[in-house]
C-alpha cells in the first residue's frame, strides 16, 4: 500500500463508522418499533400539525414575503446577540480597539433596524 493511500485510511475508517452509526440511529428505532408492535399509524398521527392548528390549505400555498422578512431580521439580531457574548468576555484583552469595533458593528445594526422600520418590514396587518 502506498503512503498516500495509507494516509487516507483513517479518514475512510472514520467515514465508514459514521455511516454505520448514523444508519443505525435512523433505521434501528424504526425496525424495533415494527418488531415490538408499537408502529401503529392512524389518520390522526398522519395529519399535518403546525402552529397549533391543522393545515387549512394545500402544501403548495404561497407564503407572504413578510414571513421571510421577519425571519431574516430575527436571524440578524440573533447573530448580534451571539457576537455580543464573546466580545464582552474578551473585552479586557481586546481593549479600546475591540470596543470601537463592536460599537461600529452595533451602529450598523441600528442603522439597519431603523431602515427596516422605516420601510415597514416590522409592520404586520
Q: Does residue 42 sit in the same domain as residue 72?
A: no
Closest CA to 124 of 77, 69, 60: 69
**Dihedral over alpha carbons 110, 116, 118, 119 (to 10 degrees):** 160
CATH number at residue 76: 1.20.58.1610
Provide the CB-side half-sphere exposure for 38 (13 A, CA). Answer: 6
For residue 50, what pLDDT is reported? 62
Q: Which domain holds residue 92?
A: 62-125
The answer to whether 121 touches 69, Cβ cutoff 8 Å, is: yes
What is the total count of domains within the chain? Answer: 2
Q: pTM of this prediction?
A: 0.46
Q: Give all strands (DSSP E) within the chain, no chain letters.
A: 49-50, 53-54
| pLDDT per residue of the chain (125 residues) written in tens, 0 to 9 | 577 778 888 999 999 999 999 999 999 999 998 888 877 788 877 776 666 566 666 667 676 777 787 788 888 888 888 888 888 888 889 889 989 998 998 898 889 889 888 988 777 76
Q: Does residue 55 sit in the same domain as residue 86?
A: no
Q: Does residue 57 sit in the same domain as residue 109?
A: no
Q: Does residue 3 sit in the same domain as residue 51?
A: yes
pLDDT, tens only, 111-123: 988 988 898 877 7
Q: Which helix (H) or strand (E) holds 112?
A: helix 91-119
Amino acid at each position: 500500500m502506498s503512503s498516500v493511500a495509507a494516509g487516507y485510511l483513517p479518514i475512510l475508517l472514520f467515514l465508514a463508522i459514521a455511516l454505520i452509526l448514523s444508519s443505525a440511529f435512523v433505521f434501528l428505532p424504526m425496525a424495533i418499533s415494527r418488531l415490538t408492535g408499537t408502529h401503529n399509524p392512524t389518520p390522526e398521527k398522519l395529519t399535518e400539525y403546525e402552529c397549533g392548528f391543522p393545515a387549512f390549505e394545500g402544501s403548495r400555498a404561497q407564503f407572504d414575503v413578510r414571513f421571510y422578512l421577519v425571519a431574516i431580521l430575527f436571524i440578524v439580531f440573533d447573530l448580534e446577540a451571539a457576537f455580543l457574548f464573546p466580545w464582552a468576555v474578551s473585552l479586557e484583552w481586546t481593549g479600546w480597539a475591540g470596543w470601537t469595533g463592536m460599537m461600529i458593528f452595533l451602529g450598523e445594526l441600528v442603522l439597519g433596524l431603523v431602515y427596516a422600520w422605516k420601510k415597514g418590514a416590522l409592520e404586520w396587518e
